[in-house]
Every structure is written in C-alpha cells, then in structure tokens.
C-alpha cells in the first residue's frame, strides 16, 4: 500500500505545494510560509499534519537528489556531513581536507559548492526535526516486537499505513516468526514504505536485504538515506560500509567517525564494530588493544554473541588486558551457548598453548592450499567454510600432519586423506585415530559441546 493511497486529496495538494517551495533552495522562506499557512487553513489541515507533510516533502526531494548523484559526489557529501555534524560549520582545517577530497574525486569547485549548498539548506530546513528523527525506535526494538507479536494484529495496523507496524510485519515475514516465511512479501512491503516515506528503519532493513543478496551499492544507498535522517542504526551501517568497503571505497577514518556518532545516539551494536576495527586495525586505523577490549566489553553487556568470542580472544592473548585463561574460557563458553560455532573450537583449545589452531580470521592461503592438496582434495569446501585448521608450521608442507574442521562440523584429517567425518558421530577411538595426540582431548571437548548444543 503506497503512502499516496492513504493521503487525502487535501494532504496531497499541500504536499505538492510544499515540494514546489522546497525544490529551489531547500528552505521555506517567510513569504512561502505565509502562503503555505493560508493553503493549510483553506484545506482544513492541522499544524501537525502540515509539519508531517513538509518533512515528507523534504525526504522525497532528498531521495530524488540522491538518485542523481554520482558515486564520487555521494562520497564527497558523506565527508561534508561528517564535518558538519559537530557544530554545523566547516572550519579552515576541514575545508583544506575537503579540498583534497574534492580534487581526488575529480569534482569541480562549482559542483562541490552546489552540493554543499543543497546539503546545508537541508540541514537548516530539518533542524527542528532532528531530535524527532533520533527518537524513532532502534532496530533491536522492532526485532523484539516482531518476535513477540501476533501477525493478524500487526497486519491490521500495517494495512492502515502505520509505518512501525509495516516494519514489524516485514521482519516477521522475513524470518518466519509467528507466521509462514515470505521473503518476497517482506521485501515488497519495505520497498513500498521506503520509496514513499523514506522511513529510516525500513531503509536499514532494505539495506540488510540488499547486502545479503550481494548488492552492496543498493545497500549503501539505503543506509546513507537512513543516516541522512540522523537515524542511529543508519549511521552505524554506513560507518560499517566505509570500514569494510561495502559499495564504496574503504575509508577507515570516516567509518570510525560514523560508528562513534551512532554509538553516542544509542546504536549499541556499534560497540562490536568499533571493537573489530581496533582489534584488527588497518584501513588507516591502528590496532589498539585497550580500545578493542573496551568496546568488546561494552558489546558483551548488550548480549552481542560475537563480541563474547573476541573478548575471549583479548583475555587469551592478553590484548588490551591481562592474560587470563579462565576469563577467556568463560567468554568462549558464553559465545558457544549463543550459537557461535567457531567459539566451540576456541573453548576447547584454550589450554593448548603448544598448538597452532587457526580460526577463520587467521587462515593463510598457503595453509589452506596445502591442506586441500594433501587431505581435503576431493571436497567442495572453500576457505570461507573453515572454522579451524591445524597444521604444525614446521612440517606443514609435507601434509603429513593436520586436520580441518568446517562450519558444518565436518572433520578432514591428514591421517585419512580425502575422507570426511561428522564430528558428532565420532567415537573417542575415532578421534584418537584421526588427529595428532595433542589434539585428542580438546577435540573430545569439541565433540561433546557440539552434541550438547545441536
């Protein structure tokens, strides 16, 4: 159901007038305000209705503008936004930095000025609505509501044009929570809502869907549109895009700035992404154990399972904190309970200091190629399918010692080349036969933990 279908004739007329006044310079001046107020009274609309329609007009114009931008122009505007966020002005230092970006992206001075003026007008015109935009529910709240709601009651509200109900219903259909799963219906509902209203939570969900379906440019556009409305989850996902280069060029500094801003506005998951940035480093950001530990700790307080695994790593390695194997084991086990498969491996091998157990992040191409050549050569798995790979680094080239565990908990062993085994079905004797002696006891722990959590 489109938003236009639910507007009255009077609301549609007022919206069209508001768009006409905003299109030239992005603001409604005093004369235009008087004319619009007369129109409002003539049409019998309340001030609250008029305010809502004007905000909708701004979003429609902004969305139209986004569609006209090149990728370089969109990237330039993202930098401008970052500099405007603290005090609404661009100082001399920021202007010099922006000038470098402009030249690097090949944008003319005239076009850069035009883009900035439109953005500034948008900031001024929407200044009174920023606080309201921030107060839209967080994505976690919509997911919680979707998990607990009755689909018939939610759909009754959605069919009356309630944007929050449409988002909740879409999540329910997307994941099959309390209703038969229907991803196409979920997408159609979100797309229609986002197209007609630019409702930030709908844009974020659409971005997630596009990202899952390997359409990063579309995902980036959705996240950016949500971020433009000062929506915390939109800012967080836009920051994540810049950190990882999802639909855009990698820019670690910009990514961290956006993530930090989103965190200050209540996007709790940003703790995890900031922790990842400082844990691994790169992209102009130096690895920093103290900051990684700080952000992972905060993320764990919000129950973010992957953060528990990485906080376990921090304790295990003494990265940003004192080395503490007991604490490492504690957080690995918490991650296991929440379904993080590779934390099973970390939990089991935490006391095996003599072993080289490489998790997904640490597997080198040469190690994988050696294992594939020597004992998993008949399989169709690739490097991304691996939870853990063990090979003694001194004799790895011979392929005579080692094993691989996949994300389906399949075991490939150098002692039985070309064969695969489901860890759940292995007896203790099988384990003793298939893996090096120092891995037998830890792998038994893995087997038991997998069976307990299946």
Q: Sketch out the chain's domains with CATH numbers.
A: 3-131 (no CATH), 139-265 (1.25.40.10), 268-339 (1.25.40.10), 357-452 (no CATH)
Angle in degrees, CA 112, 115, 119, rounded to 5: 135
Per the structure block, which two tokens stand in for 304?
A: 């973010």
308-313 long-range contacts, CB within 8 A, separation 24+: 308/332, 308/334, 308/335, 308/338, 308/340, 308/343, 309/335, 309/340, 309/342, 309/343, 309/346, 310/275, 310/276, 310/279, 312/343, 312/346, 312/347, 312/350, 313/279, 313/346
Nearest to 221 by CA among 257, 249, 239, 247: 247
91 bridge partner residues: none
- At which residue do the structure tokens 């007009």 appear? 57
Q: Report whether 264 contacts 298 (CB < 8 A).
A: no
How far apart are alpha carbons 141 and 152 in whole angstroms? 19
- At which residue do the structure tokens 């509501």 appear? 145
Q: Report whether 78 contacts 254 (CB < 8 A).
A: yes
Which H or E run includes 413?
strand 410-413
Encode 317-383 in three state secondary structure.
HCCCCCCCHHHHHHHHHHHHHCCCHHHHHHHHHCCCCCCCEEEHHHCCHHHHHHHHHHCCCCCCCCH
Phi/psi for 400 (5° steps) reads -90, -5
Tens-of-pLDDT digits for all 454 residues of the chain? 445 445 677 788 888 888 877 766 566 767 777 888 888 888 888 888 888 888 787 767 665 555 567 778 778 877 787 777 655 667 777 788 888 888 888 888 888 887 777 666 655 544 444 433 334 788 888 888 888 889 999 999 998 889 999 999 999 999 999 999 999 999 999 999 988 888 999 999 999 999 999 899 999 999 999 998 889 999 999 999 998 889 988 888 889 989 999 988 889 999 999 999 998 887 788 889 999 999 999 999 988 988 998 998 899 888 899 989 889 888 988 887 777 766 766 766 665 544 445 555 556 677 777 778 878 887 878 877 777 777 654 444 444 567 888 878 888 888 888 888 888 888 878 888 887 766 776 777 777 766 765 5
Nearest to 221 by CA among 78, 411, 359, 38: 78
Say whether 386 sits in a helix, a strand or coil. strand
List of residues 6+ apart from 152 with CB closer than 8 A = none
Nearest to 142 by CA among 166, 159, 122: 166
Q: Is the dihedral of CA 227, 230, 234, 238 positive or negative?
A: positive
Which H or E run includes 420?
strand 420-422
Say whether 391 sits in a helix, a strand or coil. coil
DSSP-derived pairing of the beta strands 420-422 and 386-390? unpaired
Nearest to 232 by CA among 204, 255, 252: 204
Phi/psi for 378 (5° steps) reads -90, 0
Nearest to 403 by CA among 452, 351, 357, 336: 357
List of residues 6+ apart from 37 with CB closer than 8 A = none
How far apart are alpha carbons 246 and 239 in whole angstroms? 10
How many CA atoms within 13 Å lie on the side-chain side of 432? 3
Phi/psi for 76 (5° steps) reads -60, -45
């Amino acid at each position: 159901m489109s938003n236009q279908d639910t507007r009255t004739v009077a609301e549609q007329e007022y919206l069209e007038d508001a768009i006409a006044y905003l299109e030239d310079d992005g603001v409604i001046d005093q004369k235009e305000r008087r004319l619009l107020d007369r129109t409002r009274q003539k049409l019998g609309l309340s001030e609250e209705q008029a305010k809502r329609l004007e905000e909708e007009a701004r979003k429609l114009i902004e969305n139209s503008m986004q569609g006209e931008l090149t990728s370089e122009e969109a990237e330039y505007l993202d930098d401008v936004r970052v500099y405007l966020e603290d005090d609404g002005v661009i100082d001399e230092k920021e202007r010099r930095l922006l000038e470098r970006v402009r030249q690097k992206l090949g944008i003319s001075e005239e076009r850069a000025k035009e883009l900035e003026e439109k953005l500034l007008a948008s900031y001024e015109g929407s200044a009174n609505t920023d606080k309201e935009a921030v107060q839209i529910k967080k994505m976690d709240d919509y997911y919680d509501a979707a998990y607990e709601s009755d689909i018939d009651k939610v759909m009754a509200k959605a069919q009356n044009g309630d944007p929050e109900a449409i988002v909740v219903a879409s999540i329910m259909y997307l994941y099959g929570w309390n209703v038969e799963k229907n991803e196409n219906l979920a997408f159609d509902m979100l797309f229609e809502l986002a197209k007609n209203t630019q409702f930030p939570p709908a844009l974020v969900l659409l971005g997630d869907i596009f990202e899952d379906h390997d359409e990063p440019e579309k995902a980036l556009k959705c996240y950016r549109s949500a971020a433009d409305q000062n929506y915390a989850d939109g800012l967080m996902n836009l920051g994540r895009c810049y950190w990882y280069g999802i639909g855009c060029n990698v820019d670690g500094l910009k990514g961290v700035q956006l993530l930090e801003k989103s965190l200050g506005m209540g996007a709790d998951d940003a703790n995890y992404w900031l922790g990842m940035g400082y844990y691994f480093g790169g992209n102009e950001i130096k690895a920093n154990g103290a900051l990684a530990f700080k952000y992972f700790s905060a993320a764990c307080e919000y129950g973010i399972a992957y953060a528990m695994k990485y906080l376990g790593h921090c304790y295990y390695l003494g990265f940003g904190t004192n080395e503490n194997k007991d604490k490492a084991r504690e957080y690995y086990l918490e991650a296991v309970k929440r379904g993080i498969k590779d934390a099973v491996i970390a939990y089991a091998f935490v006391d095996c200091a003599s072993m080289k157990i490489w998790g997904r992040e640490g597997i080198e191409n040469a190690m994988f190629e050696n294992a594939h050549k020597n004992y998993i050569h008949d399989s169709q798995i690739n490097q991304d399918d691996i939870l853990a790979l063990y090979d003694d680094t001194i004799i790895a080239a011979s392929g005579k010692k080692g094993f691989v565990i996949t994300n389906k908990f399949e075991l490939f062993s150098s002692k039985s080349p070309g064969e695969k085994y489901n860890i759940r079905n292995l007896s203790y004797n099988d384990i003793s036969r298939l893996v090096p002696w120092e891995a037998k006891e830890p792998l038994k722990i893995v087997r038991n933990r997998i069976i307990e959590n299946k």
